[in-house]
Amino acid sequence: MASQSGTNLKSQQLLEAASTGNLERLKNLAAQLDDGKGLARTIADTKHLKDGQTALHVAVRNGKLEVFKYLVDDLKLDFESKDGKGFTPLHHAASEGHKQLVQALISRGANVNAEADWGTPLNMAAGNGRHGVVVMLLTHHANPNIGSDGLFTPLAASILATSLLCVSLLIEAGADPNAEACGESPLLLATCERETEIMKFLLKAGADPNVTNDFGMTPLELAAWKGNHQEAQILFPVTSRIPTYSDWSIGGIMRYLRSEEAREQINLKGIGTFKVRKSKGEDAFRKKKYLAAVLWYSKALEIDPNNAIVLSNRSLCWARLKDGDNALSDAEACLMLAHEWPTAYYRAGAAYSILEVSVILCVSLFLDKHSLPFARFIDSASFLCRNKVVAFCFCYVHYCRNLIKQWMSSLRV
């Protein structure tokens, strides 16, 4: 009987064979791993622990058409299967721009509007500037107005990817030039990104220049506030006059927005906007819309980047999305701000768990960066660890570390 470590190694090698397109090696490893349930089931059940991707997802993501054909046509694996983030093989093919695989999947009946955390395959293609794939998906009736959890539409994704061609393809296919994405209109997004050609295209397509963001700013005011003259010159002729400004000119708007009065108003508005964004993040979390929560918490942190509670909340969302790296990054930022807060240690513990870091290494990493009084650490351990034995390990290691420090101090004396 094969050891667990040997099985894990072969599983990893099977996924690597799929990623490199080594079909014969994949078949050989699958035969070795098969414990009687058949090759198809064996391969389908072999997944990356971190992201839940199978050999099919890995092969498609890396553009391995022959492996795809073997898995789907010969073994009849489900080409609509989802990985740990909800991505189907078509999401991966669209994201990477593998047109042959996109065509192969569509011809076999793949759902062009399949939704995942980050949206549909069209979202993925547009967000990576894959205009050839965008054309293919739109030709096969992909919906240009489906967003990811009500947040990023394909149009918003293409703006963030700075792809004018994708923007034009989507608008021609019926994308709404005023569809909001995470509190921002397409024109506001393009203004933020300083994409002047996209701004001009959106205005010609019917984008509303008078729409405001959650700070109450129009695209013109946003451009003026940032000191972006070129963008302001595009927007000024099409923006309705705002009574706040006695001098209705680009220079007048910029001067007013630099005034003490305007800064006080913006700061005051920022307090309310922060609360709204944080509240929307909390609401999205309650609905288990974790990506939406991440985006709203991120917008809240744009206003108050040193808010430990929001960093902790966003870390939890990343953890629910099985993104250990981002979960740990936010947890460590939270620990820097609130090094005696038990919840911050719990967040870091959850992130390390996702990353499969051992208990002792986890403790060492914590204690190298942060220090707690021992009594306080004992209280924190129960929050950090669900298992009392693990909690004891944390406390014991900390205790030993303090003893060593005391001993070293006594030697110096």
Residue ranges in 89-183 assigned as alpha helix (H): 89-96, 99-107, 121-127, 131-139, 154-160, 164-172
Confidence band (pLDDT; 50, 70, 90) for 388? Answer: very low
Contacts of residue 108, defined as CB under 8 A and 6 or more positions apart, other chains included, come to: 72, 79
| Beta carbons of 252 and 270 less than 8 angstroms apart | no
Q: pLDDT (tens digit, 9 = 90+) per residue, 348-377?
A: 888 887 776 544 445 555 555 444 444 444
Crossing angle of helices 359-369 and 342-354, rounded to 10°: 140
Q: pLDDT (tens digit, 9 = 90+) per residue, 29-39?
A: 999 999 999 99
What pLDDT, on a 0 to 100 scale, did the predictor assign at position 374?
Answer: 43
What pLDDT, on a 0 to 100 scale, did the predictor assign at position 152?
Answer: 83
Closest of 126, 128, 129 to residue 142, by C-alpha: 126
User: Could you tell me the domains of the chain?
Assistant: 1-78 (1.25.40.20), 306-412 (1.25.40)
Q: pLDDT (tens digit, 9 = 90+) per residue, 326-341?
A: 999 999 999 899 877 8
What pLDDT, on a 0 to 100 scale, did the predictor assign at position 344?
Answer: 84
Q: pLDDT (tens digit, 9 = 90+) per residue, 266-290?
A: 999 999 999 999 999 999 999 998 9
What pLDDT, on a 0 to 100 scale, did the predictor assign at position 345?
Answer: 80
First to last CA, the chain: 59
- Rounded to 5°, the CA angle 127-145-205 comes to 90
Crossing angle of helices 260-286 and 308-320, rounded to 10°: 40
- Residue 373 CB burial class (10 angstroms; 0-12, 13-18, ≥19): exposed
Tell me the backbone φ, ψ of residue 37, rounded to 5 degrees: -95, 0
Average pLDDT estimate for 17-29: 96
pTM of structure? 0.81
What pLDDT, on a 0 to 100 scale, did the predictor assign at position 395?
Answer: 40
Count CB-CB contacts under 10 A for residue 263: 11
Confidence band (pLDDT; 50, 70, 90) for 410? Answer: low
Query: Considering only 44-53, 81-90, 308-317, which range has the smallest mean pLDDT?
Result: 44-53
DSSP 22: -
Greatest Cα-to-Cα distance within the chain, rounded to the nearest angstrom: 83
| Beta carbons of 283 and 273 less than 8 angstroms apart | no
Mean pLDDT of the chain: 87
